[in-house]
Amino acid sequence: MFDFGNGKRYNSSVGYYRRAYGERLQKIVLDAGFTCPNRDGKVGVGGCTYCDNAAFHPSYSSPGKTLLSQLDEGIGFHKVRYRTAEHYLAYFQSYSNTYAPVGRLRELYSVALSHPDVAGIVIGTRPDCVDDEKLDLIASIKDGHELPSWRRMVGGKVLNAPVVTVEFGIESCCDATLLRINRGHDFACAQSAVRAAASRGIEVGAHFILGLPGETREMLLAQTSLINGLPLHSVKFHQLQIVKGTAMEREYAEKPEDFLRFSLNEYLDFMIDILELLRPDLCIERIAGEVPPRFVNETPWGLVRNFELLRMLDSRLEERNTWQGRRYK
């Protein structure tokens, strides 16, 4: 069995940060006031059919607050929840966080990195919202050229440049699915963006949704070979959650048979099937998502929290005597 440390049978992002930086690095979600090109008319309107951004970020994250205020409030929240965390990653999560001129991006990223407890940034965006100039800026931050006087003592060592990750919302490797959910780009666009970022030495993450309309278990398992073929550092999986008021809620009401739905135990076993096929070096950022109950019409898994899911995953991996990458070729 591959040794992932910490008694884990998969390559957790928490374990990676502890190995690489000597301590836990906790993400603080930020809303910097961005939008998306499939909302403002550049490539489409209405946004992705499943999306209501309010359902996916905490109360301290609001564009009405400054970035530093959001960071202070978020750090205060997480100091109670994760008492071992000493340094944090400013997570530009809401909407598309490279969808602005380079000068504006430089200003926002620099403000977040000025916070004394912030050791780096995670930039969530779309594959069609990066270009050479923006990726060069991000690489310059990662290499220490953009902020030459930036220093942090993390895990007993001096960091001379911030930790930097770009996280692309890919959601699916199937073009028919991307078209159906009004994503506004195809999988080739995602491949190009991931490779362009990775070629600059940037750690790249990708987000995928399991259960989008029209997709089957076989399609999602086959998708792992495409994920393995990308120069990704990390992956994040969410089960599809039908959020109130979205176009997908209406689609689900009209054609529920088009949707792959999982019980909790089915999802855990299916997630393990996926883990077995993934490269063992891929960091697993998340295996499921949480939406506050007020945003959904049903909570088929009850009110199980993500930390409980991870404990259940650990137990089920042990029961099946398997691990990430066991079936990877």
**Domain total in the chain:** 1
pLDDT at residue 58 in the model: 67
Contact 205, 166 (CB under 8 A): yes
Question: Distance between CA atoms of 277 and 70, rounded to whole angstroms?
Answer: 38
Q: Residue 307's domain is classified under what CATH number?
A: 3.20.20
Question: Distance between CA atoms of 180 and 163, rounded to whole angstroms?
Answer: 35
Question: Does residue 8 lie in a domain region?
Answer: no
More confident residue, 62 or 25: 25
pLDDT at residue 131 in the model: 98
Question: Does residue 283 lie in a domain region?
Answer: yes
DSSP β-ladder status, 203-210 and 118-125:
unpaired
State the CB neighbour count (10 A cutoff) for residue 321.
9
Looking at the predicted structure, is the pLDDT value of residue 147 above 90? yes
% of the chain at pLDDT higher than 70: 96
Question: Does residue 222 lie in a domain region?
Answer: yes
Question: Does residue 134 lie in a domain region?
Answer: yes
Per-residue pLDDT band for 56 (boundaries 50, 70, 90) equals low
204: which strand partners? 166
Question: Does residue 54 lie in a domain region?
Answer: yes
272: which strand partners? none
Whole-prediction pTM value? 0.94
C-alpha count within 13 angstroms, C-beta hemisphere, residue 120: 25
Per-residue pLDDT band for 294 (boundaries 50, 70, 90) equals confident
Question: Distance between CA atoms of 151 and 164, rounded to whole angstroms?
Answer: 14
Question: Does residue 80 lie in a domain region?
Answer: yes
Contact 260, 211 (CB under 8 A): yes
Question: Distance between CA atoms of 55 and 293, rounded to whole angstroms?
Answer: 9
Give the three-class secondary structure for 119. strand
DSSP 33-77: S---TTTBSSS-BS--TT--GGGGS-TT--TTS-HHHHHHHHHHH
Give the three-class secondary structure for 245. coil
Whole domain around residue 239: which residue ranges? 13-320
Question: Does residue 73 lie in a domain region?
Answer: yes
Question: Does residue 220 lie in a domain region?
Answer: yes
